[in-house]
Chains A and B, each alone.
Chain A
């Protein structure tokens, strides 16, 4: 599905942020990616959805080498990967429903209005359908982002610090939604430094915890 073989990445003007990273996100798996701020969690996620190309090594998205992919290929791959950012990005001139339906719009697909209503109900945003993104709270924005990430029923969900700007109660709610998606067969990768969240998740689902340290990705041990 998403596979890295000895992948390294460094931004121009700096050294390698990630070195010799090898990992495989198997279908239906649940992963946490942890590590201190600036360790490269967001960079690794960007490599996972083709926003960055490895400076060394080989990254494959759904069997295709990222280096050989055209921009259209990357766009197609992103329709199979739902992404939730910490600083959720919406089109501020469009309301919640339009933002959530954006992936449908850009891919030329249609869906039943009731399906979108059900999706918004699932994330608890039934009362905010006509609201503009700036009118939403942090938690509502995260849930709207999650709804947008899953509307095309992607195979993989990538979440970058999805609970970074919300309280603990909302964090648990978001985690619950991600666990539900995993139970539906979706592959989930969450980048977070919130150890409590990871512990909470491990009580509900079999999750692998990866830690970025010194540019390398390691499987976390018994401290979790």
Chain B
């Protein structure tokens, strides 16, 4: 393990003299700094998007998971009796914190978007709705269904599973998409840095020739390039990350009216996550340049 990390320690330790042997080349330096910065900026947004959408879906899922609805459909004259039976069952059901029958006004409000404001509820055979609030780990839905079937045959339990499951799936997919985006950004950064490193190595073929002539090992020559590109990527990515974080900070603060868009950002310890992006960029640059340098040096043998 220590041997594997040795090149990284050497990189951190640095070698000012080795850095001098490779002349600074403007084009590849600018390309590396710019691409690392741009990719880090995008990575901040991918990270924020992934965390925010995941958070939002979890909130929806949690909210729905804590409540359920019982719909009571019964012939005229039996409705009240069945509602009372359902409430009795709920009162003795473990995991149920509260249950209440929705008022006519609440039911009218629910139906208003579809039927308008003047719906004559008392003349229509509309089922009664009972809202159930859960506590702790919630109740056993199968057990409750069986008891309801016995005590109130017209009652149907809707525990929101069919709504919650797609949201949970969406949350997981969004998290995965965010992770894939970050991996793609890292891969693109690696590709650009590999191209820049190859260009720098090709432009410095004469330098490599001279260094070999005087007895430089390949690790010494590769180290000079690797160190330079890693530091450039680190600096560029840090600047890009800072710009991304500032842009996130400048977004309007989260509120209910803003919904998803104003919730885009970081919360709590998640604010520390963007600071891992420059390190990731440096790691990618280190691996990409090392590979490019070793390949080129092998080919130049």
Q: Which residues of A contact B (CB under 8 A)?
A: 71-72, 75-76, 78-79, 83, 85, 89-94, 98, 102-103, 105-107, 148, 152
Residue B211, interface by CB 8 Å:
yes
Whether A107 contacts B18 by the Cβ 8 Å rule is: no
The residue of chain B having its C-beta at the shortest distance from the C-beta of A53 within the complex is: B301
* A148 partner residues in chain B, CB cutoff 8 A: 214
Whether B212 contacts A78 by the Cβ 8 Å rule is: yes
* B20 partner residues in chain A, CB cutoff 8 A: 94, 98
In the assembled complex, the Cα of A76 lies from the Cα of B215 at a distance in Å of 6
Q: Which residues of B contact A (CB under 8 A)?
A: 17-18, 20-21, 23, 206-207, 209-220, 297, 301
Interface of B is mostly: helix
Q: List 28 A-B contacts (CB under 8 A).
A: A71-B297, A71-B301, A72-B217, A72-B219, A75-B215, A75-B216, A75-B218, A78-B215, A79-B215, A83-B213, A85-B213, A89-B206, A89-B209, A89-B213, A90-B210, A91-B21, A91-B23, A91-B210, A93-B23, A98-B20, A102-B21, A102-B210, A102-B211, A106-B211, A106-B214, A107-B215, A148-B214, A152-B215
* B209 partner residues in chain A, CB cutoff 8 A: 89
B9 to chain A minimum Cβ distance, whole angstroms, is 16
B20 to chain A minimum Cβ distance, whole angstroms, is 7
Q: A89-B209, A90-B210, A91-B207 given as contacts; is B23 within 8 A of A106 (CB)?
A: no
* A105 partner residues in chain B, CB cutoff 8 A: 17-18, 21
Whether A71 contacts B210 by the Cβ 8 Å rule is: no
* A89 partner residues in chain B, CB cutoff 8 A: 206, 209-210, 213
A145 to chain B minimum Cβ distance, whole angstroms, is 10
* B21 partner residues in chain A, CB cutoff 8 A: 91, 94, 102, 105-106
Given A75-B217, A98-B20, 17 more A-B residue pairs with CB atoms under 8 Å apart are A71-B217, A71-B218, A72-B217, A72-B219, A78-B212, A79-B214, A83-B213, A89-B213, A91-B21, A91-B23, A91-B210, A103-B215, A105-B18, A106-B211, A106-B214, A106-B215, A106-B220
In the assembled complex, the Cα of A98 lies from the Cα of B206 at a distance in Å of 17
In the assembled complex, the Cα of A111 lies from the Cα of B244 at a distance in Å of 49
Interface of A is mostly: helix
Interface centre among A85, A90, A93, A152 (most CB of B within 10 A): A93
Whether B214 contacts A78 by the Cβ 8 Å rule is: yes
Interface centre among A89, A148, A152 (most CB of B within 10 A): A89
* B213 partner residues in chain A, CB cutoff 8 A: 78, 83, 85, 89
In the assembled complex, the Cα of A50 lies from the Cα of B260 at a distance in Å of 66
* A98 partner residues in chain B, CB cutoff 8 A: 20
The residue of chain B having its C-beta at the shortest distance from the C-beta of A79 within the complex is: B215
In the assembled complex, the Cα of A107 lies from the Cα of B18 at a distance in Å of 11
* A72 partner residues in chain B, CB cutoff 8 A: 217-219
* B217 partner residues in chain A, CB cutoff 8 A: 71-72, 75, 106
In the assembled complex, the Cα of A91 lies from the Cα of B224 at a distance in Å of 14
The residue of chain A having its C-beta at the shortest distance from the C-beta of B301 within the complex is: A71
* B206 partner residues in chain A, CB cutoff 8 A: 89
* A102 partner residues in chain B, CB cutoff 8 A: 21, 210-211, 214
9 closest residue pairs by CB, A with B:
A106-B216, A79-B215, A78-B215, A93-B23, A103-B214, A75-B217, A89-B210, A105-B17, A102-B214
The residue of chain A having its C-beta at the shortest distance from the C-beta of B24 within the complex is: A93
B1 to chain A minimum Cβ distance, whole angstroms, is 23
* A103 partner residues in chain B, CB cutoff 8 A: 214-215
In the assembled complex, the Cα of A200 lies from the Cα of B156 at a distance in Å of 115
In the assembled complex, the Cα of A65 lies from the Cα of B266 at a distance in Å of 62
Whether A75 contacts B210 by the Cβ 8 Å rule is: no
* A93 partner residues in chain B, CB cutoff 8 A: 23
In the assembled complex, the Cα of A201 lies from the Cα of B20 at a distance in Å of 39
In the assembled complex, the Cα of A102 lies from the Cα of B206 at a distance in Å of 15
A49 to chain B minimum Cβ distance, whole angstroms, is 8
Q: A89-B206, A91-B207 given as contacts; is B17 within 8 A of A75 (CB)?
A: no
In the assembled complex, the Cα of A103 lies from the Cα of B213 at a distance in Å of 9
* B210 partner residues in chain A, CB cutoff 8 A: 89-91, 102
The residue of chain A having its C-beta at the shortest distance from the C-beta of B224 within the complex is: A106
B100 to chain A minimum Cβ distance, whole angstroms, is 80
